Amino acid sequence: MAGSSEFTVQRVQQIDASPEVVFSLVDHLESWQKWSPWEGLDPNLSREYTGPDSGKGARYAWKGNKKVGEGNMTIAESVSPSKVGIDLAFLKPFKSESKSIIEIAAKGDQSMVTWTMKGQKNWFMKLFGFIFSMEKMVGGDFERGLAKLKTVAESAAGQG
């Protein structure tokens, strides 16, 4: 896979909340502020939400310091309560496009959440791939994000 021009990063988390609760936190982009692994890296982050509040067409653009860069994400697919597909575009620190899919499967009264990112390696990733693999760059972020999503969803489920 080292010579491949594609990358895939995937993490899975079991959450003690219904798929509906988890889906509501993923499908509504403003709710990402509660659980995103990148939240808090730039206290002066500029955010812009356009389109519908949730579901297909909802869009979030950000611009911040070198830790968060600049980019946008748009919900391309929304299948309640099982799947949210996102088109992700980074503009800074380097241009890159990828697809992110969050799948939510019922497992009894719990949810099994799978977060996957797929894309084409750009020239930077190919050149420095031996040092900066997407697995290393994003894998830990996905783990932290899913752990936060678990905490937020389980808290919300407990209030319901």
CATH, residue 71: 3.30.530.20
CA 73, 95, 61: angle at the middle one, nearest 5? 25
pLDDT tens-place string over residues 65-119 = 998 999 999 999 999 999 999 999 999 887 889 999 999 999 998 999 999 999 8
In a domain, 81, yes or no: yes
Domain ranges, residue 34: 6-159
Q: At a CB cut-off of 8 Å and minimum separation 6, what does 112 contact?
A: 12, 13, 14, 15, 104, 105, 106
Please state the pTM of the whole predicted model.
0.89
Bigger pLDDT: 60 or 131? 60
Chain segment 22-61, per-residue pLDDT in tens: 999 999 999 999 999 999 999 999 999 999 999 999 999 9
Indicate whether 1 belongs to any domain: no
Tell me if 91 is assigned to some domain. yes
Q: What is the domain count for the chain?
A: 1
